[in-house]
Structure 1
Amino acid sequence: TTHVLASGSADKRIILWDLDEAKAAQILPERDGEVQALSWHPAEQSFILTGTLSGTVEVIDCREDSGSPSAVWKLGAQVEQVSSYVHCKSILFPKYTDL
């Protein structure tokens, strides 16, 4: 599908919504904390960055059915925002506050 929205919530889940069909396309496994931040990578459009209240940042390749992260960082602080650098898929910027 070409039109996808990602939502994260206090139930620790991320849902990928198919906007063309107006329904959930994929429900990813529970994260380790409430999902507070989501950001699609601007250049690698199948990658989503996630941040949780428990201080975890993950990179998830949404082409993988498992929903398992391809990279994980434990920051020890509540993640408020995540974003990535458009010219390099390996650089990300979390914004967080101490727990």
Structure 2
Amino acid sequence: MQTERLGSQGGPACPTFTSKRHSMGVCSIHSNPHREHILATGSYDEQVLLWDGRNMRQPLSETKLGGGVWRLKWHPTHEQLLLAACMHNGFHILHCQQALEASGGACPVVASYILHNSLAYGADWSHLSLEEAAPYSPVAAEPKESLTESGGHLRIQYESPTASFDTSLEDDAGRYIPESIAAPVFSSKEDAPSLSCLLASCSFYDHMLHVWRWDWTPEEAQQEPVQC
């Protein structure tokens, strides 16, 4: 793994740092969009390493995930959450707060998604906000069914090789409507906020794309990981 500096013509001149901390090929590198200097690397050696670009001699943390780490994605709004696609071992969400605070130790896995039946290759967070309800469509003059009365339509989110499927509710413009319109997404349990996220994952040989929802509260970072 190398970081490079630009030459006078704008191209890479020479590496500013070279690391062989990973024992096998590096597959993914992703800079944290919220924390300057913080980046994550994933490798065939099944390790996720977090780094501070100001001191690349030693990683902030090392986390073993049991599968070659092909893709890494930081959450678009929550700096401590990192999504990893781990080839033969599914998809995992890491909670990296302690590492970001330079406390050391592996990042705990707070959720795992294992419903794909092939190599876990691609994964990303949706930038669609679930914090605010999508606007309702005007109610039809003569509604023919309850879904029309509520201003929404059911849509299959994904279908797996075993023919199981999930559905979501959307408005006439195709925008996602959360299941509980009246209830706020951020609730409180002893003042602990909750988070609802929409994610997409894809696998290699079966050509499958899955869209799934993850509901989480920060206190779960100290508990056993949830399998979706």
Can you give the 5+ residue segments of structure 2 that lack an aligned partner in the other structure?
A: 1-34, 99-104, 131-195, 207-228
Partner of 1:72: 112
Q: Determine which structure has greater relative contact order: mean sequence separation of CA pairs < 8 Å that are 6+ residues apart, divided by chain length.
A: 1
Instruction: Kindly indicate which of the two structures has a greater share of residues assigned to helix.
Output: 2
When the two structures are aligned, how many residues end up with a matched partner?
Answer: 98
Q: Which amino acid aligns with 2:108?
A: S
CA distance in 2, matches of 1:91, 1:16: 24
Partner of 1:26: 61
Q: Does 1:93 align with 2:209?
A: no
Partner of 1:52: 86
Segment drifting more, 13-22 vs 58-67: 58-67
Determine if contact 1:32/1:56 at 8 Å carries over to the other structure.
Answer: no
Instruction: Kindly indicate which of the two structures has a greater share of residues assigned to strand.
Output: 1
Determine if contact 2:62/2:106 at 8 Å carries over to the other structure.
Answer: no
Segment drifting more, 86-95 vs 48-57: 86-95
Partner of 1:12: 46
Q: Which amino acid aligns with 2:201?
A: P
Determine if contact 1:55/1:77 at 8 Å carries over to the other structure.
Answer: no
Q: Share of identical aligned residues, percent?
A: 19
Aligned-CA RMSD value? 1.9
Shift of 1:4: 0.8
CA distance in 1, matches of 2:78, 2:118: 26
Shift of 1:42: 0.7
Partner of 1:41: 75
Runs (4+) off by over 6 Å: none
Give the structure-2-normalised TM-score: 0.40
Q: Does 1:82 align with 2:117?
A: no
